[in-house]
Structure 1
Amino acid sequence: MKRNISLIYIALASLFFVGCAEDPRMPGNLIGAKEPVVTTEKVEGIKATEVTVFGKVDKENGTQVTERGFVWYKEETPEEKQTQAVTDGTNESFSFKITSLEDSTKYIVQAYAKNSINYGYGSTLSFTTIEGLASVITLEALDVKSTSIEIGGEITDKGEGEILERGVYYAKASLTEAGTEKDSLASTMDTDSYTCTITELEALTTYYVQAYVKNKFGTSVGKEIEVKTTDGLPVVGNLTIDHVTTTYAEFSAEVTNPGDTDVTLRGFCYGLSRNLEIGAAGTDTILCDAGVGLFTGRISNVEQQRPYYVKAFVSNADTLVYSSEVVSFTLLSEKPTVVTATPIVGDGTVTLGGSVAAPGIKEEGQPATIVEAGIVWSTNENPTIDDDVRIDLWGTSTSFTTYITDFLPGTTYHVRAFALNSEGYLSYGDNETFTTVEIFATLPTGYFSGEIQVPNSGAYLTLAERRVGYLVGGDKNSYGDQTNQFWKFDMNRDSEYYLTWQENTSHLPAKRSMMAIASNKDGIHVWGGFNTHRQPTSDHYFNVFIKNNWILAEDVSPTPMYGSFACYLIDMIMIGGVQRTASGDSIVADVWKQRVIQTPRWVQEADFPEAQYSGYAFAVGDYIYAGLGLTSIGMNPDFSNRLWSTRKAVNDSEVFNWEEQEPMPGDYAAKAGVAIGSSIYMIDSEGYIRIFDTIAKTWSTANSRVPETHRDIHCVFSDGKRMYIGFGSNRTTICYDPAWDR
C-alpha cells in the first residue's frame, strides 16, 4: 500500500512540472525561459506605397509575450530600419499594413515578439513595391490639317492615386533624343481616352508626338509617332471620261479631301492644250456646285476631229487646286481624228510621226477602219498627200514614227500626219514646223573676250569626256606681247554655262605662247614655249582639276623649245618643236615621253620621221597620230601634209614604230584639228575640212568649208559629235555639225 502511494506522488509531480513549462500565462518566469519563437508568415496586397504583412508567435517560451510587431527596411539601406508594434489579432497571429513606402523599391520585413527575456525574430521576407506610375498609349491622329493636329492618348493603367494631368508632348525633332525642346498641351477631358488639338503649327512639317499622363509618382509617356501636317489644300481626282457622242462629252471627278476649309467651287477646264489654266487663253471652264464627293460635267461647244484635254479643279478659301490627271477626248465623227507628233531634230535625222486618235464612225455608228496613214512634209505650210513628200506608216498600232535623213541643213519644213478610213474619209493633223541644224551656226553665247589675238599662238585641247575645251596663254599681238589667261569653253548641256567662255581665276604663273599641251584626265600640262623675252623655255606647268591652281613642276622639258606638239596615251608624248642655239633656231624631230604617274622623268625615243613644229598629235584608241606641222621658219613657212601613227608603248622597253598614213589631201597647211570618235578632223588654211578615218585609214573632205570669217583659227573643240571653232576675226565661236554636212 505504501508503494502505491509513492508512485501516485511521483506522477503528480511530473504533471506539475510539465504543465508549468508550457503555460506562458502563469505568473512569474520559469527556470530556462527563452525569447519567443516567431514566424514571418507572408506578404500580401503589394502596392506602390503599401503592403500587408503577417506574423505568428509560435512559442512564448516560458514567459509571457509583451510586444509583437514587424521590422522592415529597404534592401539597399538595412541600417535604416523601421519598427511597428501590433496590438490587433489573436495572441498567436498578427498582421499589419505598412504604408508610406516608395514605389518600385525592394524591402525586407520580419516579424518579432518580445517577452521578459528578449526579442524573438522570424525569418526575413522580401517584396518589391510596384510602379506607381500610370500607363498610357499614344493614339493615331484623328484629324490632320495644315496648322493643327487632333491627337491624344489612352490611359491603360492609372497606377496609384489620382490622375493629375493628361495630354501630349510635341516637337519638330524626335522626343526620344536628348536635348529636344518640346511643347506640351494638356487635355481638358477626364476620361481614360482623351484628345487634344494642337494648333499654330507649320504646314507640310513633320511633328513628333507622345501622349503623357501624370500622377503623384511622376509622368509616363506613350510611344512616339510622327505626324506630318498637310498643305491645307483640297484634293480632287478620279477624273474619268464617262460618255462621248458626236456633239458632247461627259466627265466626272471627285473631291476626296476638302482641305482645311469648306469647298466653295469645283468644275472642269478644257482646251486644245494639255497646259490648262483657268483664265488663260485657250482654256474654257464648266462650273459645278460646291461640296465634296463626286461631281459631273458636260462639254458640248467643241469641234469634231480635234482632241481636247480636260482636267478637274476645286477651290476652297485658301486656293485653287487642279487634278493631277489630264484626260483627252475627241467627239465622234465620220472622219478620222489625226494628231501630228512634235518633230524631233537629231544628229542628221529628224523623227516624225503621228497617231490616230479616232478612226471615224460608219453610218450605223460602228467604228470605221483605218486603211492608210502616215506623214507628209514640205517647205510650204499644210502639206498634202497630193502635192508633197509622203511616207505611209500605217501598221498595227494607232501611232507611227519614222526617222528621216533626207532633209537639207538649216531649212524650215512643215509636216502633217494623215489618215484615210474605210469610209473614204481623209483627215490631217495639225501643221507642225521644224528647222534643221545649220552646218555652221554662230553661237549667240560664244563670244570670246580674252586677250589672245594671234591665231595658233595659244595652247588648246579638248576633254571630250568632260565636254569642255581649254585655252591657255598665247600672243596678244604681233609684237610678241603675251597673256597668261586660262579659259574654259563649256560644252556640257547640263551646265548653266553651256556653250559659253569662262575665264578661270587661276591664271598661268608666267606669260607664255607656242606651248605644248596635253591632259592625263586629272589635269592639264603645258611645256616650253616663248617667254616674255621671246626666248624658248623648258618650264613645265600643270593644273590639277580638283585644286584648280597652276604649279611649276620640279622636272622641266628636256630642252628649251617652242612649237612642240603633245598628247597623252599612258605617257605624256611630246614631239618636235624648235630649239634655239648659238647659230639660230632649228626644227627638231625629237620624241620625248614622260610617265607622270610615276617619278616624272623624260625618256627620249627614236626621232620622229620628219622634223616639224606647230604640228598635231592625237590619241585615238590605242594609237597616236601625229604630223601635219610646219617644216621651215619664216613669214611663209613650208608645211607638211604627212601623217604618221604608232601603237601606244605600255612600258619603257617598248619603242615607237611610226607608220606613215595616207597624206592629208589638198595644197594647204593644217590650221587646227580635233579628234571626234575614231576620226580626226583637220581644218586647212582655206577652210577645207579634211577627215581622216583611223579605221579605214583614208582621208575624205567635207562638203562645206569653214566661213572666211572664222579661218583665223585660235582653237577647235569637240563634244564628241560636233566641232566648235573659235573665234575668227569677229571673236565669235561657230558650231560645225558633221551629221548635217551633206
Structure 2
Amino acid sequence: MNRIVYYAFFTACTLAGCKKATPENSIVTPTEKTDHIALAELGKLAFSNITTTGAMVTGKVLNKGGALVTSRGICWNKDPNPTIDNNPIEANSSKGSGEFTVALTTLTPSQTYYIRPYAKNKGGISYGEQQVLTTADIQSVTFGTNPIFIVGSSIAYYDVNIISSGGGAVTERGVCWGLQEKPTINDHKVMNGSKGTGKFRIGMLNLNPSTNYHLRAYATNETGVSYGPDISFHTIAKGKVTYTFNKVDNPTAQQLAAYQRLQVALDSAVWYANNYTSATKHVYLNYDPGVPTADANNEGWMRFGASESYQNIRTMLHEMNHTFGTGTTSWWSQAIINGKYSLANANKMLKMISSDESAVINGDSMHWWPYGLNQNSEVSSSWDYVYNCLIIEAMRKDGMTSHSGPY
C-alpha cells in the first residue's frame, strides 16, 4: 500500500512540474540552473549631487545570495518599476562592503524619475526598493564681478566671467551697453562666438570719446536672458598724436626698405596711442644708420638705427613713451623712488592688468617695467601694446608732463 501512494505522489509531481518559489520583485534567467541559489538582496539607494541633468546614485548589495554577484547597478525610467529592459547602468566596481556608485546622466530638468538597484548572480536578477528622483530646476546664469580697465577713446574691452550656467545650456553670451544704467540686449550688444560658462574678453567699438557708459554681461539659457551687475565706465578723450617722417630725397634700396618697416611701425604706434591715451604730441621720426638701436627725447625727436630688429611697433611705442615723458623729464625722477614707481594711478592700472594686488611698477632713470616694451622678448601679443598705453595714460593722470603740458 505504501509503495502505491509513494508512486502516485512521485508521478503527479513529475507530470505537473514542481515549481520553486522565487522572491518578489525578481527575474530569474531561465537558461540558468537556480537550485539552491538565492537571489541577491539590495539596500536602499541614496542620491547626491543632484543637478538638472543627473545625480550620483549609491547602492549596496546586502547579501550575495550564496553566489558570486556578476553585475550590479541601477535601472531607471519615467514610469514606475523600471527593469534592466529600460535604462540599465552597470557599476564598474564595488567596495568590499558591497557598496557601488553610478553616475546618472542625460536626464531632463524638473523631471521625476523612478530608480531601482539591481544585482545579478547565478540565481538570476533581483531588484531593490524603488526610489523617486526629481532633477533640479534650471536657474538664471550667475556672473562674477570684474572691474573694467581696458577703456580707450572709442574702444573698451570687458572680461566677462560666467560662473554658473544655472544648470541649463548657455546658448548665447556677450555684453550689452548704453548711456543709462542696466542696459539690455535691446540697447547695444556684442555677442561672443563661444557658448557655455567661463571667462572671455569682449570688445565694444564705435564708442564716443569722453562719455559715460554702462555695461552688463548677459547670457541666455532655457530660462531666458540673465544679466550681470551694472558697471559704469568713462571713455577718455581721443589722443592727438601726429608725426613728421623725415626722409632723404633720393633713398637707397636699404633706406627704402627701412622706411617701409618704420612707416608700418609708426602708423601702428600712433593708432595705439590715439585710441588708448589722450596724449597730444607731435613726433619727428628719423632714420639714422649711425644710431646703434633707437632713441628719443621729450621734444618729440625719435631716431632709429639700421638694425631691423628695432624697426617694429614695440620699439616705436617704447620711444614714443620717452617723448611723452618717461625717463626724459624731471617729473620722472620724482616718480621713481628706490627703483619703484611711487604714484597711485599707474600702479593701480598694473594691479588690474595683472590681477595682482601686490604688483608695483619697477623703474630706473630711463625705463620702467613690466609692459614698458624695453625688449622684443617682452611682447607676447598685441595686448601688451594696449597695456603699455593704458599705463602711460595712468601715468599722465599721475601728472606726467609732456611737451604740451600736464594731463
State which structure, 1 or 2, has the greater radius of gyration over its C-alpha atoms: 1
Same-fold call, TM cutoff 0.5: no
Q: Report the TM-score range of the alignment, normalised by the length of the smaller protein.
A: 0.3 to 0.5
TM-score, normalised relative to structure 2? 0.38
Could you say which structure has the greater relative contact order, defined with CA pairs below 8 angstroms and 6 or more residues apart? 2
